[in-house]
Chains A and B, each alone.
Chain A
Amino acid sequence: MVTLKQQLYAWRTVIFALFLRELQSKFNDKFGLSWAFLEPFVFILALSFFRGLLNEGDIHGISLFHFMMIGLVGLQSYTTGIQSVSMSIRKNKPLYAFRQVQPMSAIVTSGFLEVAIKVVVIALLALALYLVGDGISVDNYLLLIVLFSLLWIQCISVGLMFGIAAAFVPEVDKIKSMMMRPLLFISCIFFSLQDIPEEYWPYLTWNPIVHFVELARYACFPKYGSQGVDLAYTVETTAGCLFLALCLYHITWKKVLAR
């Protein structure tokens, strides 16, 4: 009989091996691993900077630059996370010949890699802000960490569901990228929920990213306020997504192998 400890040890070995393999194969060009950090860093920094140039001033007590940056970090984490987690099922297909490697190992590995990359990106952004003397003093670190963890659990769950669906119906990938595109405009990245008339809030607040982004701004700048958004909603959607994704995985993973 295999004990739980051995089981966990085996999982750890496989995930560690996959993680190294991912690192070695993903960043094989001249830029190497640094590209993974540089690209989102430059994207977020440039977009927030130019938005800040367009009109000076602040939004409900946050400078536009910071406002944009928090929003973009949230959205970028979510979309690139879903993208690479859902792709990982198919990308590691040849490896399922080893019975130690299961689709879940691929999911966990790519999720972990994405989190690690985003943590470094955030550190870089914080460092850049500090160096130009425009640093953010975060008011509520605990809330920020909770939000970041929830966001990742949710995003890996959604990625897992998309990945399984795409294993059966490849067209899902096209629909997925179509669904991702409007997220930039409806997730309160360029504007605050508080600037929208209250009767239109229900059209935006179904989207958990809105809650994540607005709460993250609130966690950094308490005077920004948290009208219309709710931490409970992020917890509920995350739990729901995780539950659904694990159920779906449990009933389909053996069939996914044969695809």
Chain B
Amino acid sequence: MIRIENMTKSYPSKLGPQYIFRDLNFDFPTENNVAILGKNGTGKSTLFRLLAKSEYPDRGRIVTNKAMSWPVALQTGIHPQMTGRENTRFIGRINNVRSLARYEEKVQEFAEVGKRFDLPVKNYSSGMRAKLVFACCMNIDFDIYLIDEATSVGDPIFRKKARASLKEKSEQAGVIMVSHELDQIREFCTSAVVIDEGKLTYYADLEEGISVYTQESK
């Protein structure tokens, strides 16, 4: 459970502060895999980043005792000049993994990069980068994994593997996912939170959430 207390978040702009959320109170469920649904500009990614504490609200707070992953998107924390191995070691270090060598091995195997693990990431294709980031995240034990749509690119085989490992993780951990692609969401998630005009609503049944979301979109 992640509790959001009296949260206000705005961004400055030429038209004055743009409020995304105003005095929001919400208990974000994390027991099962949750999708965050909402139109463009309703604050999906903002909520996502706030949950990860990559950004902080103007007022109010977000309380949780769960270990959360970083918001896993296409490029976070990856330096193009550094090799895959160096990038992996950096992520391992700041997340305080127990054995860097074992972590490295597991990531190399999971990401299917083989020998290219020792080449600079700028030589990777975008699919390979996404795989690397995803592998880095999956091999650290978090309570909640925050996955952005970009990470679920990759070939069908990798996606199958990703789904299997997320399934396995969801025994003890939860997943929060942001995506526009309903197929992907149906693949990974079982419930939904719909954002509309700064209000959050939880739907325990994913299909119910999706139908509300698609009707809103019309």
Contact B93 A25 (CB under 8 A): no
Q: Please, which residue of chain A has its CB at the minimum distance from the CB of B86? A: A24
Q: Please, which residue of chain B has its CB at the minimum distance from the CB of A253? A: B56
Contact B81 A257 (CB under 8 A): no
Q: Please, which residue of chain B has its CB at the minimum distance from the CB of A96? A: B54
Contacts of A18 in B (CB 8 A): 94
Contacts of B75 in A (CB 8 A): 94
Contact B94 A101 (CB under 8 A): yes
Identify the stretch in A9-17, A49-57, A208-216 within 8 Å (CB) of chain B at 4 or more residues: A9-17
Contact A13 B94 (CB under 8 A): yes
Q: Does A138 contact B (CB under 8 A)?
A: no
Contact A28 B94 (CB under 8 A): no
If A97-B70, A97-B71, A258-B55 touch, whether A13 touches B93 (CB-CB below 8 Å) is yes
A33 CB → nearest B CB, Å: 14
B192 CB → nearest A CB, Å: 24
Contacts of B90 in A (CB 8 A): 17, 20-21
Q: How many residues of A contact B (CB 8 A)?
A: 22
Chain B residues touching A, range: 20 to 34
Contacts of A96 in B (CB 8 A): 54
If A13-B93, A17-B94, A257-B56 touch, whether A94 touches B86 (CB-CB below 8 Å) is no
Q: Does B160 contact A (CB under 8 A)?
A: no
B79 CB → nearest A CB, Å: 5
B64 CB → nearest A CB, Å: 12
Q: Does A100 contact B (CB under 8 A)?
A: yes
Report the separation of the CA atoms of residues A14 and B95 in the bound assembly, to the nearest whole angstrom. 8
Report the separation of the CA atoms of residues A257 and B55 in the bound assembly, to the nearest whole angstrom. 6
Contacts of A95 in B (CB 8 A): 77
Q: Which of A's residues lie within 8 Å of B, judged by CB? A: 10, 13-14, 16-18, 20-21, 24-25, 28, 94-101, 254, 257-258
27 A-B pairs (CB sep. < 8 Å): A10-B96, A13-B94, A13-B96, A14-B94, A16-B93, A17-B90, A17-B93, A17-B94, A20-B93, A21-B79, A24-B79, A24-B81, A25-B79, A25-B82, A28-B81, A94-B75, A94-B77, A97-B70, A97-B71, A99-B52, A99-B54, A100-B94, A254-B55, A254-B56, A257-B54, A257-B55, A258-B11
